[in-house]
Structure 1
Amino acid sequence: MKKIKIMYSLIGTILIASAVTFFRLASLGTDPYTTFNLGFSMLFNMDFGIFLMYSSLLMLIYVYFVNRALIGIGTLFNIFLVGNLSDVFVSLITNMFGTFEGLFIRIIISVVGILFLSMGAALYIEAKEGVAPYDAMPIILSEKSGLSYRLSRVIIDVSITIIGFSLGAGLGVNTIITAFFLGPFIQFFREIFYKDLNTKELRYSAKE
């Protein structure tokens, strides 16, 4: 069962990297955390993937002291794979297909990105093999304040969107949608994956 959870965590991370890639290619705004990191990477003239690792490592220190149970192999997957995979995916796709100019295809890419991001985050959160330091923030806020996960996520997402925008990152329809609705979307898929993982765990236990 441990291997299955690690696999789910890795798949979730790849889905998130793909989602970030789609947002960047669509040029209709990115998710809040990507907006935040794009703003700082522009400020310091750094590659997106490199700055993402730095910001995640700083948040990791905070999570370690507040709730280290949220740290695991999934945390490492997210820190070291999401930004770098996204940079690779963007480079490969633009070299093969160029930029996407048509509004219709950009909307389709954006919708897929939102779906992948929600599913990916939900998948590795419910795998309980560690989450990204940023994704730990609304969980910690929810635990400390008593607020729902949905509301805690919205508060965090909107706050860092404002920071990213103030640093020069662009806003778009994807940014607004994910800032206010990503929390509910993730919670929706968390409930689905929770049932799926529990079913698999029961079957695995029965075999033993």
Structure 2
Amino acid sequence: MKKIKLTYSLIGTFFISFAVSFFRLADLGTDPYTTFNLGASGFLDMGFGLFIMISSLIALILIYFDNRALIGIGTLLNIFIVGNFSDLTLSLYNSYFSEPEGLLIRIIFSLLGLFFISSGVALYTEAKEGVAPYDAFPIILTEKANGRWTYRTSRVIIDVSFSIIGYLLGATLGFNTIITAFFIGPFIQFFRKIFEKDLQTRALRYTSEK
């Protein structure tokens, strides 16, 4: 069963890498967390990559003291794979295809990005092998809510808040920023229900075979 969960986590991480690639190809704005990092790094006159490492480290420390169970192999996979695999995917795409032209194809790429990031986060969240620092925030907020609202609402609150902060610090909001801020949460919750049932089925099958 451990191997199945690790597979879920790995596939989810690669899905997020694809999502980042589609968003970058669409060139219609970034996701809320990237928007925040762009705004904050520009405001502080700091390198984008350096600020992401610092913000991720701060987030990891906060998560460790609140719910360290959210930190695991999936956290490391996300940190080391997403950016590098996204760069590789873009490099391969640009080797065989030209940059997407026309608003329609760019919107399609954006929607594909929304699908992959939602299903990817849902996969490694349900695997419970650790999540990315940013993705831990809505989980913690949902736990703090004590049933007053769902994960979907928590995700929208976090995404919209980070988008607004990034904008106030100087980042630009785009189509992708808006759709991810308001729709990632509902889609992640939708996919989590599907993957939760699948994992439960596999767990029962695994138990019966032992």
Secondary structure class of the residue paired with 2:101? coil
| Runs of 5+ unmatched residues, structure 2 | none
**Match in the other structure for 2:134:** 134
Describe the shift of the 1:175–1:141 C-alpha distance in structure 2 as closer, same or farther (beyond 3 A): same
Which segment drifts farther, 84-93 or 142-151? 84-93
Equivalent residue number for residue 179 of structure 1: 181
Aligned length: 206
Report deviation, 1:4: 1.0
Aligned residue number for residue 101 of structure 1: 101
Contact 2:38–2:48 (CA under 8 A) maintained in structure 1: no
Could you say which residue in structure 1 is the equivalent of 2:77? 77
Bigger drift between 85-94 and 4-13 goes to: 85-94
- Unaligned residue ranges in structure 1 (runs of 5+): none
Under a length normalisation based on structure 1, what TM-score does the superposition of the two structures give?
0.91
Letter of the 2:101 partner, please give it: E
Q: Which residue of 1 aligns with 2:162?
A: 160
Q: Determine the structure 2 residue equivalent to 1:22.
A: 22
Deviation at residue 195 of structure 1 after TM alignment: 0.3
1:12-91 matched pairs, under 5 angstroms: 12-42=12-42, 43-47=45-49, 51-91=51-91
> 2: distance between equivalents of 1:83 and 1:165?
23
Residue 150 of structure 2 corresponds to: 148
Q: Which amino acid letter does the alignment assign opposite residue 148 of structure 1?
A: T
- 3-state SS of paired residue (1:165): helix
* Structure 1 residue 205 corresponds to structure 2 residue 197: no
Label 1:86 to 1:69 Cα distance change in 2 as closer, same or farther (>3 A). Answer: same
Alignment match, 1:196: 198
- With the length of structure 2 as denominator, give the TM-score of the two structures: 0.90
C-alpha RMSD of matched pairs (Å): 1.8
| Structure 1 counterpart SS, 2:38 | helix
Q: Which amino acid aligns with 1:38?
A: L
Judged with a 3 Å threshold, the aligned counterparts in structure 2 of structure 1 residues 170 and 39 are, in CA distance, closer, same or farther, namely same
For 2:25 and 2:47, the matched residues in 1 are separated by: 20
Distance 1:53 1:89, change over 3 A: farther
> In structure 2, how many angstroms separate the alpha carbons of the residues matched to 1:53 and 1:92?
26
Q: Which residue of 2 is the match for residue 4 of structure 1?
A: 4
> Contact between 1:57 and 1:79, CA under 8 Å: does it hold in 2?
no
Per-residue CA deviation, residues 99-134 of structure 1 (Å, 9 max, x unaligned), is 222212111111110000110000000011111111
